[in-house]
Amino acid sequence: MFGRLPVDAVDWETAYALNPRSYDPKYMGADPEIRVVRINPVEGQGVVRIGAFIREDQVLNWFTRKYNSGDDRGPQADFDPEHTRMTMYVDYKNGAVIIRQNPSIELEDGEAVRAQSAVPEAQVWQAEDGSVRIRYSGHDAFVPSVSPTLGTVNGDIVVTPGHGVAGTPGSTGATVDGTVTKYPWMEIYQHAPNGNKHTIAVLPAPAIIDNEKVGPNAGLWVNRDIGVGEKAIAPFQRTIEPDPRAMRGAPSVDLTIDQPFAEAGPVGNAPKAPVYANGGDVRGAGSSIGDKIPAWLSDGEFVMNARSTAVNRPFLQALNADPFFLQKMLASRSERSRSSAANGYGGAVPSGQPATVNISMSNQEDIIGRLKVLALQWELSHS
């Protein structure tokens, strides 16, 4: 995966998750399925380890009418990824998201008689602050896959790096938000560069379904929130507003869709997750022209200097919050202008009233000129 041997504790944690072999005899030689996405590293965050495990030693599979092997354990900060049903690692040191699904094991009279692996599905995004969104799904290899979110171990989570070097005084650990299925158990730990382990969350299955006959047959069909829940995925989505001309007067509804993502791939051909900017002010070392703050930027983004930002901050904030802000503003001004004309105000705009400025520009014109025009339109609309 990285072209070198593990050299520290974080490397070894990731190496265990990437190990393509099974060693527990219950797997009968069947190996796990592992998928990977590359991400931008975040210094000092180590690795966040997420394990989904079945507490019981066996659970009834209502589809096959047979029992499947569980993991027969409780939460363990040093869990072996082989002793889970599904594992996800966010390795901030090396820059990788790992999704590992262990083989399903069918039992007869408590003994393993068949083991088979299914391929997990996962999509991965990354924000410029290092936050990683993972939408994942894993199904029992002995059960046909109907949908990624029906009867599967699935979720949509965002892992956000903490502040400072994890595991050192004054630092904060990573956080995890989103939604996950109510079954099985889920444990989330952060393994810091200095070797400390920080418990982020341990989510037991609800007591009413945490048993061998009900658990997977009920808990895999409903989800629960972690932290702020679904709100966490908003930075990885965008809103499409329908063209009013196409709607022809019909009520319009904004459509929220996902930004492009990377589909998890084989270890030897892992894709890179796209990185999305949240936008807003930049704070850090140096002066307003010192260029002391390193930045990852995306194709097509534009950086404005601090002086122009200070002058036009309200407009820039409005435009960053809503890409169609200018179009909406101009459309509103135009509509009011037509209304005034219809009421006999026609030509000149009365003193002290807002004016509408229409300017046509070609794609080749200088971007600074464009920004000056936008600033002028902002001033006119608020004068």
Q: What secondary structure letter does DSSP report for 350?
A: P
Q: Where are the alpha helices (DSSP H) in the chain?
A: 9-18, 215-219, 244-247, 306-321, 325-342, 367-381
* Mean pLDDT (whole number) for 333-355: 55
135 compared with 243, residue with greater pLDDT: 135
pLDDT band of residue 363 (cuts 50, 70, 90) is very low
Q: Three-state SS string across 237-263, please?
A: EEEECCCHHHHCCCCCCCEEEECCCEE
What lies within 8 Å, CB to CB, of 201 at 6+ separation is 176, 186, 187, 188, 226
pLDDT surpassing 60 at residue 355: no
Place of tokens 């609800």: 206
Question: Half-sphere exposure of residue 246, counting CA atoms within 13 Å on the CB side?
Answer: 5
Lowest-confidence region among 4-18, 72-86, 253-267, 312-326: 312-326
pLDDT digits (tens, 9 = 90+) for 165-224: 777 887 888 999 999 999 999 999 999 888 888 899 999 999 999 999 999 888 998 999
Tokens for 112? Answer: 């393993």
Nearest to 201 by CA among 180, 171, 223, 231: 180
Tokens for 280? Answer: 């807003």
Is residue 63 within 8 Å of 106, Cβ to Cβ? no
The dihedral through the CA atoms of 219, 220, 222, 227 has a sign that is: positive
Which pLDDT belongs to residue 244? 62
Lowest-confidence region among 15-29, 126-140, 286-300: 286-300
Is residue 138 within 8 Å of 166, Cβ to Cβ? no
Give the global pTM.
0.72
What lies within 8 Å, CB to CB, of 22 at 6+ separation is 29, 30, 31, 32, 82, 102, 103
